[in-house]
Structure 1
Amino acid sequence: MATRESYDDTHDLTVFPEGLRGRKILLCTESFGPVNGVSRTTLMLVNHLRSHGALVSVVAPYNHTKVNTFSPINNPDDGKKKQASYCSETRLTGYPLPFNPELSVVYPVRLSELYRRSFGGPPDLIYLASPASLGFQVMLQLRQQVEDAQVPVICNFQTDLAGYCSILFPSPLGDIASWLFAKVQGYLFRHASVKTVFYPSTFVKRYLEDVAGVQSEKLSVLRRGVNTDGFHPRRRNEELRRQWAPNGELILFTCSRLAGEKGFGFLAQATNELHKRHLDFKLVIVGGNRNSVVEEEIKEMFEPLRESGKVIFTGFKVGEELTSHYASADIFLHCSVTETFGLVVLEAMASGVPVVARDEGGPSDIIDQGKSGFLVPPDDLEGFVQKALELADDPGLRQRVSQAGRAQALEATWETIGNKVAWNMLQTIEDREKNEGSEISTQSVWLIKGLILYYAAIRRRVISKIVDAKLSFGLLTILGFWAWVSVYLFFTNMVHLARTKVPGLRVMVKSSRI
């Protein structure tokens, strides 16, 4: 059987497939807009497909502001009203996650309702970006349909939910949650309706094959691109550098959502070690968390260095302000081990900033060890500190790594990545059409076909209640798991809140850690 990878060899990825123009694509994503790296990647894909004439209808949960964050781009070559009407965005209600209110668990929704609200009927293809609460519902409902009615699905695996669970929850709850997620993902991805599962790194491929049990022939690697015009060394801002480091200190930098699973505990330890070894530096951390309790807990990890001004938290940054922050740094420190890709690493390389990262997850595939950056074993704190010191002490080495990183980033274009997805979409749609058209059109065959369809219609009506019951059970299982997660995180947040509001309790907790 041909793998999804083999299709790439037959297509020119510098060219968008003309056959995808006018095709109806229902794109379901767990977040959309300038929320995080995953949603920014999805936004780039949607813009790319629509600008070339594909009819893309986006379905996503409301974000924390309860407003849409996307301005559709119409095809410049086709001003038809029909196409403009499909540049739509449908927002669904859900329950915001306590530890990250920008993400929501979508309430139950019927697939037929999504069809109605997008194209008025089934699309040619369904694309699931980082499927979780919404994507799981879509795949689960497709399993309940007869084979002829199953719209083909392409999934893009971008978030390591199982990995997050193992970090967020104490043992053995974390291990149980991680195991459950792997089983659910494998059960859904292995179904025949799912034609391709894109993965961003070798780390994720091993998980999908060995843990989730997804068929190898379905897997296809899909890297991420970076805007090398926006993230560019020329964005370096000397005035900004003087604000951060008025005495000419070395500027260490990182950019991430402030959350426990992002490796800030490791970064805090590394920062303390660098301080003990008398490195004259300022650490600038870009990012935040809509949950103020979680954000404050991360900031507390860097005391007393934050209080003395050696660690600077800037909050969220976007656009040109974000790119200036990147390019104005001297060294980028990446400490997360849960990144399926690690877009921030590629953004730092494009900005001409040398990177030191833990050798786990996506960054392991991005960095060319010793040339475009440095990788350190994930638990090797001493090795991480030594590489940071090596770069700090050698401006020539920083310059060489910076140039190699920038050259590597220039090869990762959104155009090529978007075209790869587009070719895969067209191939999947055409495969389905070929299968539907391969039957011999004789009267006897069509008579048999009609009887089969008639029987199938009766069967669907007779067992509709059973199907609805199975569907409801599946949805309740998913919602039950998310409810369990929310209850656990609610009580965790209460503990965090008590620590921030009751000084005596905070001292007691810190003393117990010592």
Structure 2
Amino acid sequence: MRIAIFSDTYAPEVNGVARTLKRYTAYLEKVGIDYKLFVPESSTPIPTVPQVERFSSIPFVLYPECRMALPNPLYINETLKAFKPTMIHVTTPFNLGLFGAHYGKKNNIPMIASYHTNFDDYLEYYHLQFMQKWIWKYMSWFHRPFEKVYVPSHTTKEKLVNYNVHPNIDIWGRGVNHLEFNPENKSNRIKEKYQIKEKNILLYVGRLSPEKDIRIVLETFFSLPEDIKKNTHLMIVGDGPLYKSLLSSKSNQITFTGFLEGKELAEVYASSDIFLFPSPTETFGNVVLEAQASGLPVIGANAGGVKNLIKDGQTGFLCEPKNADEFVRKTITLLAQDNFRQTFGKQAREFALEQTWERIFERLILSYKDTLLSKERFSA
């Protein structure tokens, strides 16, 4: 198996798609599957890797961290001829994805696609709702030639089925590193570093952008009863277009850390008490799984992929999207009852332990092999 992968984002970018693809290519290397990756250039200088081909790019209007590549068709053609892929994998339906799909069709190479981002849900936040109809028409047109389309959650699958995007949709889930994200990473160092005096920490980790409904996080915190709020500190971890404007909300009980990763991020998770994640636009919700692995109950929006991760009333609570009052009530419930909160956190950790990257990638490769065999039988 030799896989040519086309994507508009990849490490060292820090979004969920880029990180998933980095783990994916690391797994391919581990099991000895050859791949060639075609991605935009990085805004951060990085070492050259022989399997990765990078191209000039421009920022994508709705998501500047993702970039629209400007492919070099002649070079890509020559590279693919030398590589001789047995499968094409397209992760984004833009410039590079279009080229990958065209090459696969032209050369009768089996093609699979993976769907990662609900761009239609973003439109409301950028006042572009009029484009929704055209986005789904384009998505259906783009994905039709593929043998299979992979999505990260059952909710996302239902959505694509509803819009007739493709007749063959399968789940490619996500995992979490249980050693990296672990309750044992709890440390007093976090409170000391950020000068947190309050007993409880309410945590948000993610991109600071309109489609994440970050305003619900702040509204929830400010709406807590005074007797609970005085013992609660809000930590907001992440960067994005709203970062500077959100700093105006800063107080002695709110900390904006900016982007964190590695050991410090793991310590922040494990040293917090509740994870608050109101985003209704997720296809999965990687940070939710990281919080659960760290032993945190999660209060999230009952929408998108997040609703498939939280067992309401067992590992956390699901709230109606944008309903700040409901987020406040559920947050009060967990902050006011230590034993209740700790039980939820233990059950969240148990759920996360079942979500291993190894198992997920093993299933994905088996699914690839089934797809290749089906293509061969059909062609015969």
TM-score range, shorter chain: over 0.9
CA–CA separation in structure 2 for the residues paired with 1:412 and 1:233: 16
Q: Report the alpha carbon displacement of residue 235 of structure 1 after superposing the two structures with TM.
A: 0.8
Partner of residue 76, structure 1? none
Task: Determine the C-alpha separation between the residues in 2 that align with 1:411 and 1:69.
Answer: 34
Q: Which residue of 2 aligns with 1:298?
A: 246
Instruction: Give the aligned partner of residue 238 of structure 1.
Output: 188
Q: Structure 1 counterpart of 2:358, which letter?
A: E
Identity %: 28
Out of 403-412 and 309-318, give the one that drifted further: 309-318
- Equivalent residue for 2:112? 154
- Could you say which residue in structure 2 is the equivalent of 1:134? 96
Structure 1 residue 125: deviation in Å?
A: 0.2
Out of 53, 66, 69, the position equivalent to 2:32 is: 53
With over 3 angstroms needed to count, the CA separation of the structure-2 counterparts of 1:154 and 1:283, relative to structure 1, is: same
- Partner Cα separation in structure 2 for residue 415 and residue 364 of structure 1: 23
Asked whether the equivalents of residues 115 and 121 of structure 1 are also in contact (C-alpha less than 8 Å), the reply is no
**Deviation larger for 134-143 or 402-411:** 134-143
Select the structure that is richer in strand. 2
Change in Cα spacing, 1:190 to 1:240, as seen in structure 2 (3 Å) is same
In structure 2, give the amino acid aligned to 1:180.
W
Q: Secondary structure at the match of 2:109?
A: coil
Q: Judging changes above 3 Å, is the alpha-carbon distance between structure 1 residues 344 and 248 closer, same or farther for their aligned structure 2 residues?
A: same
Query: Could you say which residue in structure 1 is the equivalent of 2:136?
Result: 182
Quote the Cα distance in structure 2 between the aligned partners of 1:346 and 1:380: 22
8 Å contact kept, 1:64–1:102: no
Write the letter of the residue equivalent to 2:246. I
Q: CA deviation at 1:391?
A: 0.5
- Residues 88 and 100 of structure 2 are in contact (CA less than 8 Å); yes or no, is this contact kept in structure 1? no
Aligned AA (2:94): A
Q: How do 1:306-455 residues align onto structure 2 when only pairs under 5 Å count?
A: 306=250, 308-436=251-379, 438=380
Q: Are 2:228 and 1:284 aligned?
A: no
CA distance in structure 1 between the aligned counterparts of 2:362 and 2:80, rounded to whole angstroms: 23
Deviation, 1:435, is 4.2
Of residues 109, 114, 127 in structure 1, which corresponds to 2:76?
114
Q: SS at the partner of 1:120?
A: helix
Which of 53, 56, 79 is matched with 1:90 structurally? Answer: 53
Q: Which residue of 1 aligns with 2:123?
A: 165
Amino acid at match of 1:384: F
Q: In the TM superposition, what whole-angstrom CA distance separates every residue of 1:180-217 from its partner, at most 9, and x where no partner exists?
A: 211111111122xx011111223312221122x1233x
| Cα displacement (A) at 1:121 | 5.0
CA separation of 1:257/1:40 partners in 2, compared to 1, >3 Å: closer, same or farther? Answer: same
Q: What are the superposed Cα offsets for residues 297-329 of structure 1, whole Å, 9 maximum, x if unpaired?
A: 2334xx2xx1x2211110111111111111111
C-alpha displacement at 1:247, in angstroms?
Answer: 2.7
Q: Give, as a single letter, the amino acid of the residue that structure 2 aligns with 1:317.
A: L
Q: Which residue of 1 aligns with 2:174?
A: 224
Q: Check conservation: 1:94, 1:104, Cα contact below 8 A.
A: yes
Tell me, yes or no, if structure 1 residue 124 matches structure 2 residue 86: yes
CA gap 1:69/1:229 in 2 versus in 1, 3 angstroms = farther
Superposed CA RMSD = 2.1
Q: Which residue of 1 aligns with 2:3?
A: 25
Name the amino acid aligned to 1:428.
T
User: Is residue 272 of structure 1 aligned with residue 215 of structure 2?
Assistant: no
Provide the secondary structure at the position in 1 that maps to 2:147.
Answer: strand
The alignment status of 1:195 with 2:138, answered yes or no, reads no
- State the alpha-carbon separation in 2 of the partners of residues 118 and 299 from structure 1: 47
Cα separation, 1, equivalents of 2:47 and 2:171: 29
Amino acid at match of 1:91: R
Q: Is the 8 A contact 2:291 2:298 kept in 1?
A: yes
Distance 1:159 1:406 in 2: 26
**Aligned pairs, number:** 378
Contact 1:358 1:378 in 2 (8 A): yes
Distance 1:295 1:99, change over 3 A: farther
Structure 2-normalised TM-score? 0.93
Is contact 2:144-2:165 (8 Å) kept? yes
- Higher mean C-alpha deviation, range 378-387 or range 222-231: 378-387
- Pairing 1:249–2:199 present: yes
8 Å Cα contact 2:56/2:71 also seen in 1: no
Q: TM-score, normalised by structure 1?
A: 0.70
Moved >4 Å (runs of 4+):
140-143, 275-278
